Amino acid sequence: MVYGERVRVAVLSDVHGNLAALERVLDDCADADAVWCLGDIVGYGPRPNEVIDALRRRGAVAVAGNHDRAALGLLDISDFNTDAAQAMVWTSGVLTAKSREYLASLENVRVEREHTLAHGSPRDPLWEYVTTPTQASANLNHFATRLCLIGHTHIASAFIDRGDGVFLATYAPPGFTVDLSQLSAKALLNPGSVGQPRDGNPQASYLLLDLAAGIATWRRVRYPIRETQAQMREAHLPRRLIDRLSLGR
């Protein structure tokens, strides 16, 4: 990886139709040169079309998540829990032709400026949850770049190869940084979720990559949770999905 480029990239994942959260995050990273989105743009949340429009306006580069594929009818949702499946039926019903076209254009994996982008993991981009060092290690030979950016778990985290194929895993609290220029081997970084955090902190989570300084910083942003919850009630989305936004679980 070549550092020294004066480029700052905001890495977002799992926006899940939460426009209020996305807008605050895009404000927070307004001076970033690029936005990369790791999928699950829609599903669960009340504003899927508006979220897609906002990402397109910002010129975001994105890959597909399992919810994005399911919304197009391309994935069997029998593996989804009842709430997720109910929200998916609603989401599929409200997506515009333009939004469908956008979701259909997304790849499962792509490489941007020598960074691999995937939703779940590079070896199984739509389904695998990387939560342990063993899983991170099993993905080592499935990406060629130094860094792989993943989402899907909704938990801000980092998996760093010690240099011998054994990964160290860490939760990434707000303000946590990784000095990329000091990495001796590969790493998988997870920005956490913009629209439905599940690490006990309800604030929207994302990752800022400063390619000039070689620093990755995890950030949290307050957003009007009640606004999203009111939109979800209006759309008759499942109660449990509404409540969990306040808890960050």
- Tell me which residues touch Zn ion (CB under 5 A): 14, 40
Calculate ∠ Cα 77-78-84, nearest 5°: 55
CA dist 65 and 120 (Å) reads 7
Strand, coil or helix: 118: strand
Q: How many CA atoms lie within 13 A of 88 on its CB side?
A: 22
Nearer to Zn ion, 68 or 161 (CB): 68
Q: Tell me 13's DSSP state.
A: -
Q: How far is the CB of 241 from Zn ion (least distance, A)?
A: 12
Nearer to Zn ion, 21 or 211 (CB): 21
For the bound state, the minimum distance from the C-beta of residue 82 to Zn ion, rounded and expressed in Å, comes to 16
Q: Do 156 and 171 meet the contact criterion of CB atoms below 8 Å apart?
A: yes
Q: Is 81 helix (H, G, I), strand (E, B) or coil?
A: coil
Q: Which is nearer to Zn ion, 14 or 210 (CB)?
A: 14
Nearer to Zn ion, 14 or 161 (CB): 14
C-beta of 39 vs 143, nearer to Zn ion: 39
Q: What is the DSSP letter of 166?
A: P
Contact between 52 and 60 under an 8 Å Cβ cutoff? The reply is no
As measured in angstroms, the least distance from the Cβ of 43 to Zn ion is: 7
What is the maximum span of the chain, computed from C-alpha positions, in angstroms?
52
CB of 99 to Zn ion, least distance (A): 17
Smallest Cα–Cα separation from 37: which of 94, 107, 91?
107
From the CB of 169, what's the least distance to Zn ion, in Å? 19
Q: What stretches of 111-158 show up as alpha helix (H) in DSSP? A: 133-138
CA-to-CA distance for 121 and 133, rounded, in angstroms?
13
The region, left, alpha or beta by phi > 0 then psi within -120 to 50, assigned to residue 161 is: beta
Cβ at position 92, least distance to Zn ion in Å: 16
Angle between helices 82-94 and 239-247 (to 10 degrees): 100
**Least distance to Zn ion, CB of residue 177, Å:** 24
Q: Based on CB atoms, which residue is closest to Zn ion, 40 or 199?
A: 40
Shortest-Cβ-distance residue relative to Zn ion: 40
Instruction: Compare residues 74 and 212 and give the one whose CB is closer to Zn ion.
Output: 74
